[in-house]
Amino acid sequence: MNLGHLPSLEWLNLGYNQLGHNQPPSGLSFLASLVNSTRLEFLGLEANDFSGEIPNCIANLSTTLDQLVLSYNYIYGTIPRGIGFNNLSGVIPACLSNITGLLLLSLESNMFHGRIPASLYFTWEKTLFEGSIPSSFKALRSLEVLDISSNNISGNIPQFLGEFALVQFLNLSHNKLGGEVPKKGLFSNVSAFSVVGNYRLCGGIEALQLPSCPPNILKTKKEEFPWRLIPLVVLLPLATLLACLTFVFCRIKKSKQQNGPVFVFQDTKYPRLSYQDLTLTTLGFSQNNLLGQGGYGSVYKGILESESLQQIVAVKVLNVEAHGANKNFLAECEMLRNIRHRNLIKIITACSSTDITGNDFKALVLEFMKNGSLDKWLHPSPSGQENKKNLSLFQRLNIAIDIALALDYLHHQCPTKIIHCDIKPSNILLDEEFVARLSDFGLSRFFLTSVGHTQTSSIGVRGTVGYIPPEYGMGGKVSAEGDVYSYGILLLEMFSGKTPTGSSILMDHANNLHHYVRKALPHRVMDIVDPRIKVQTEDHNFLEDKSLIRSNILSRMEICLALIFEVGILCSVEMPKERICISFAIKQLHLARDKLLLHGCKQL
């Protein structure tokens, strides 16, 4: 194989072939022919039966290469001064930190050992690392996923990990960590982290059900406290001075504020509420009224009272210190003010004011959704009442159609086309009748079209790992096709019960949820369906037509699921232009629902 005459080559994907079949151990030697491809950014060679060691020539591509995929081959040996995936061994070389162009490095499922290089931060699942978590991790505050599970990492869990506001999931499971589990920040939400398989841990939040920490740990903390007190005593005068200056600054800032809040909506149909009004509405932003929280801020349940009625509302208080918070607040206000649809969350009003300390305060007042988010129904917490929640096949299908209709409205029926940019289960809310509403428009983008010109923006585009379309990661502009991709992943998740970033997907040797489902179609549909859907068929009392036998029900159910999964696959293909439009997805999902209704399986 000679690719040396392609100096302008930027993207080369040869994955999922048999290029290494019946090749000598030096099957990767052809990489030397790419030495002149100085613009190469992506090289995919996964699942090709290559064997042998990675040649040293790979280091010549390190200045331009963004992604190198060698997974699912038979490559062995130590890492050269380049990159590696498979059954590789040895110590991670420090020179990896010099590859400045690298955007993605996956080292999972190898046999690396030694200490984690303090200059790297990637995914180190099942790599046999040892030692403690380095303190240099403090600087990695832009991380969204940190997975160092199934290693030999020991020591205590650093408190600073709880301060990572952007982390979607922290996986520390199956290591040798010990000591007390932190309780603050990220560690206050049991669904945001995992520490299972670390049998020396204690304490933590009640949902972890870990044993209480022994007295010797508490005693150690008490013995260390006097040493910490010394710098506090030394710095006390300075701290007092800073507190006084801060107080004066806040007073000056507050005196410059206008009397009362700045009203975001001038239209009189939106109530004008101040910080004090919302404090009363939520009973002082009580923890008892807290519905959920994340990097964006917190959502509280409240009762909005007027002269004529009482209305239950959800008050979304934004974290004004988060990056881009003000921009996202204004964007969400603008979006919600201009859209009207049964399957989009309704805004009641917005408040931009100051709190009692003079700091900025921004909040959205939205309609209250009694049944919460779809995420809590698909992936209930292992503790508490949530684990009893379950959605039937018919309910899930109705919700899927609701969200598709919402996207069709945003993409094709609005006066100004809108791209949502963050389709995921936690942004889908359910009312008391399980009618779905799409929410959280903070990342949304207007798609302005004038004669002969289209304006779009990819600057600052963010989303959620697992749902972001691949072209966004390569600098592509936001598009309706990007929303369709995210919707396709959501659809596969709803009916398989698998999260797109779940470890069970990788254990099944699938690169992502799309490939996991695609491999099962069309003959193994029932092998991948969410087991909680299949439980519905065990009860025959719900059948409207008593003549229907169980085998017939399963057959109809399988046909319906195959059609739904096929829609999800067609929505989430890699190339944007090959994805189906959302209107076609709606048509196919309606067809699946009609099949259920026709055969009396409405309650499945």
Spatial strand order in the sheet of 290-294: 290-294, 297-305, 310-318, 360-367, 347-354
Residue 118: is its pLDDT beyond 70? no
| Structure confidence at residue 458 (pLDDT) | 40
Instruction: Indicate if 422 belongs to the active site.
Output: yes
Residue 85: is its pLDDT beyond 90? no
Query: Please, what are the domains in the chain?
Result: 11-217 (3.80.10), 275-367 (3.30.200.20), 374-598 (1.10.510.10)
- pLDDT digit string, tens, across residues 248-262: 666 555 544 444 455
Residue 334, CA distances (Å) to 165, 183, 337, 401, 418 in order? 26, 37, 5, 25, 11
Residue 105: is its pLDDT beyond 70? no
pLDDT band at 225 (very low <50, low <70, confident <90, very high): very low
Find which of 246-250, 348-352, 462-466 is predicted with most confidence, using mean pLDDT.
348-352
- pLDDT digit string, tens, across residues 387-443: 567 899 999 999 999 999 999 999 999 878 889 899 999 999 999 999 999 998 877
Contacts of 268 (CB under 8 A, 6+ apart): none
Q: Give the span between the Cα atoms of 512 and 499, in whole angstroms.
A: 10
Q: What is the number of other CB atoms lying within 10 angstroms of the CB of residue 555?
A: 12
The active-site residue, picked from 402, 408, 422, 483, is: 422
| Structure confidence at residue 21 (pLDDT) | 63
Find which of 120-129, 173-182, 343-352, 395-404 is predicted with most confidence, using mean pLDDT.
395-404
Alpha helices (H) in 299-426, listed in sequence order: 325-338, 374-378, 393-408
Q: Give the span between the Cα atoms of 349 and 302, in whole angstroms.
A: 13
Find which of 32-36, 196-200, 484-488, 591-595 is predicted with most confidence, using mean pLDDT.
484-488
- pLDDT digit string, tens, across residues 31-53: 777 777 777 777 887 777 777 77
| Structure confidence at residue 451 (pLDDT) | 32
**pTM value > 0.85:** no
Residue 12: is its pLDDT beyond 60? yes
Task: Answer whether 388's CB lies under 8 Å from 380's CB.
Answer: yes
Taking residues 178-193, report their average pLDDT: 89
Taking residues 170-179, report their average pLDDT: 88
Please identify which residue in the block is written with the tokens 């110590």: 91
Residue 226: is its pLDDT beyond 90? no
| Structure confidence at residue 510 (pLDDT) | 65
| Structure confidence at residue 317 (pLDDT) | 92
